[in-house]
Structure 1
Amino acid sequence: MKINKVLAQEIADKVMTVIPYNVNIMDETGIIIGSGDANRKGKLHQGAIAAVEQNTIVCLYDSEGPSMPGVNIPIHFRKKIIGVIGISGEPAIVEPFAELVRVTAELLINQEYLYTERRIREQMKEEFLYQWVFRKDQYDAVFKNNGEAMGINLTMERMAIIVKGETIKEPYLKDQEFSFKLNHSSLLFIVPADSDILKRLEQMNTHPRTKIGIGGSSTLVSKSVHEAERAIDIAEKLTLPSTFCYYQELKFIDYLTNKDLSFSEIGDFFQEFEATPKGQELIETLLCYIKNSGDMNAISNELHIHRNSLAYRLQRIEILTNKNPKKFTDLFQLYTGYVIYKMKHSK
């Protein structure tokens, strides 16, 4: 830690508001870098040199070149001399102030150091968050160690949430929750997958044009960030009314407009269905439901089952796939998933 000229002048000015004597601040080489007398700045102070060499208070009773009568006492930071504070005047009169002035100076220096250290730490954390948010590669040991040093656990499942638009204020953040300014209109939150931050955002958001994109949970944050961005993009382009835009609900639309995406999620269900008689029964029910445009009587007659049994099967399909066959968009996804599955797996 070194005393810079700005801090030195600030110390001199503050001390001189409480004592009626000129105060000089010298660096560790004895050069005056802060003073109540601007003409003395940049000059070598012999009393300061002696105070540094002897590591004790030094009194000057006569003028020595540019050095005036007064007392000079070393300033310490972490047991190391980093400068000297001098009070001009008759030593017998000003010496009683010396210890008080030294303590005041060291408190101001410690305060400045802590502020600077905190600012550097915040800047490093912000830079790491930027790398984290946009890193597409898996995290190596070095990156994980850097995250740990910042207090960020990179091994847990995370969820990205982007708030685009206006909110009253940012919600309070809990442990392992982080915020990051993407641009002037979008704020990104990286939170654990089980976070309740959406409830906090719901309480604070009142602007009707605000969109909140929610990505899926992943240990690779950039993946969830991309999903949250896509959720907002899709919702805006299709003028969807919902404030909360879940990528999981819009994933199918993303698939339709981006052939590079994998749509194996629903296809996997059909693979599991085909492996068991009960599952095959559900596939048969779904295809019959589509064929008969949802006419429950026609479907029941064709499958030779009671309407209650049909309702139960449709409910099972919804539970297992998280898609409701009675909802057109969900039914569209189920049928598309089935077609893709059959095209890939049929010989």
Structure 2
Amino acid sequence: MTNILLRLIDFIRELAFSISSEVDCNVNIMGDGGEIIASTSIERIGTIHEGAKRIMSGEVFEIAISAEDAHKLRGAKPGYNMSIMYENKVIGVIGISGEPIIVKPIARIACSFIVSQIKQYMKNELINKTIVEIMSSIQQVAEDVQQQATASQKQASKLNILSENAETIKSKLNNTNKILYFIKEIADQTNLLGLNAAIEAARAGENGRGFTVVANEIRKLSKDSSNSVAQINATLKDFNNYITLITNTIVDVSKNSYSFWQSMEGIAKEMEIIKKNMINIH
């Protein structure tokens, strides 16, 4: 726990000098093993304070030495040393020179300031840790969202290509229908030609028998062509209906994918804004 005091060393040093300037006394702050980590007597920093050592070991909670006691004890000086408590643990010692009855209240107030500062420091540490964890989570979510957005964009592009290909097929089918219509017209004209040939053969009588056979073949060819055109046309019509259904489905899915991609892009941007705001807070 002394590490906390070391992290607050600037505050502790400033507090020690503030107390010293107000009451004209020497102030020491001790950590593990009674080592002086801050003092208004700079030369004492890094040395061991025996009284603080006893307090840190749990031997005593406080040590008060009056002027009378100091006179009796060889080398001792009047002063008051008390433990700095945080979460029911002794994390340090504050010592102030002077009559205990005078400096004890000051030491207690100083301890309260130090503990209050420690609590604020720990709270800030927890906040910073939480922010880092949140930022890490946001970063992960942002990456996942971006990946989904990229995948959706690619999917939308592929669906768009499929839709275009389907439209091309529909266009070619329409051209095929035009060709079939043209073939049907030829078949109709051929049938009419065969009918006219049959009439002429009938007029020719016996001499037109051969011509009659030819006329019948022409009409048969015309009929076969018409039947084939009808069958092909029916098949192409069904095929066209299937293609139209597929195209419409692809277009709908493509629109939804594009909308989803836009939504994911929007979410990704929002996540970036949140991340930047969290960085600013941090």
Kindly state the Cα deviation for residue 247 of structure 1 after the two structures are TM-superposed: 3.9
SS at match of 2:142: strand
C-alpha contact 1:23 1:36 (8 A) present in aligned 2:
yes
1:83 partnered with 2:92: yes
Q: Give the gaps of 5 or more residues in structure 2.
A: 182-232, 257-282
| Residue type of the alignment partner of 1:91 | P
In terms of mean alpha carbon deviation, does 95-104 or 1-10 score higher? 1-10
Q: Which residue does the alignment assign to 1:43?
A: 47
Question: Alpha carbons of 1:309 and 1:112: their partners in 2 closer, same or farther (altered >3 Å)?
Answer: closer
Q: Which residue does the alignment assign to 1:57?
A: 62
Q: Give the Cα–Cα distance (whole angstroms) in 2 for the partners of residues 296 and 311 of structure 1.
A: 16
Question: Alpha carbons of 1:246 and 1:286: their partners in 2 closer, same or farther (altered >3 Å)?
Answer: closer
Q: Which residue does the alignment assign to 2:254?
A: 322
1:71 partnered with 2:24: no
Q: Which residue does the alignment assign to 1:291?
A: 172
- C-alpha deviations, 1:187-241, integer Å up to 9, x for none? x8257x7xxxxxxxxxxxxxxxxxxxx432xxxxxxxxxx74xx7xxxxxxxxxx
| Residue type of the alignment partner of 2:92 | G
Question: Alpha carbons of 1:308 and 1:248: their partners in 2 closer, same or farther (altered >3 Å)?
Answer: closer
SS at match of 1:48: helix
| Residue type of the alignment partner of 1:76 | M
| Residue type of the alignment partner of 2:142 | F
Kindly state the Cα deviation for residue 33 of structure 1 after the two structures are TM-superposed: 0.7
| Residue type of the alignment partner of 2:103 | V
| Residue type of the alignment partner of 1:322 | S
| Structure number with bigger Rg | 2
% identity of equivalent residues:
26
Question: Alpha carbons of 1:8 and 1:71: their partners in 2 closer, same or farther (altered >3 Å)?
Answer: farther
Give the length in aligned residue pairs: 191
SS at match of 2:13: helix
Match of 1:33 among 30, 37, 40: 37
Kindly state the Cα deviation for residue 29 of structure 1 after the two structures are TM-superposed: 1.1
Q: Which residue does the alignment assign to 2:147?
A: 215
Q: Which residue does the alignment assign to 2:105?
A: 96
Match of 2:139 among 150, 159, 179: 179
Matches within 5 A, 1:130-209: 178-179=138-139, 189-190=142-143
Q: Give the Cα–Cα distance (whole angstroms) in 1 for the partners of residues 9 and 81 of structure 2.
A: 15
Q: Which residue does the alignment assign to 2:223?
A: none
Which protein has greater RCO, CA pairs closer than 8 Å, 6+ apart?
2
TM-score by structure 2 length? 0.50
Q: Which residue does the alignment assign to 1:248?
A: 155
Q: Give the Cα–Cα distance (whole angstroms) in 1 for the partners of residues 53 and 255 of structure 2.
A: 81
| Residue type of the alignment partner of 2:15 | K
Question: Alpha carbons of 1:66 and 1:103: their partners in 2 closer, same or farther (altered >3 Å)?
Answer: farther
Question: Alpha carbons of 1:23 and 1:47: their partners in 2 closer, same or farther (altered >3 Å)?
Answer: same
C-alpha contact 1:30 1:49 (8 A) present in aligned 2:
yes
Q: Greater share of strand residues, 1 or 2? A: 1
Q: Give the gaps of 5 or more residues in structure 1.
A: 130-151, 153-177, 181-187, 194-213, 217-226, 232-244, 257-265, 267-282, 325-347
- C-alpha deviations, 1:44-64, integer Å up to 9, x for none? 112213433344232123397
C-alpha contact 1:75 1:82 (8 A) present in aligned 2:
yes
Q: Give the Cα–Cα distance (whole angstroms) in 2 for the partners of residues 323 and 50 of structure 1.
A: 78
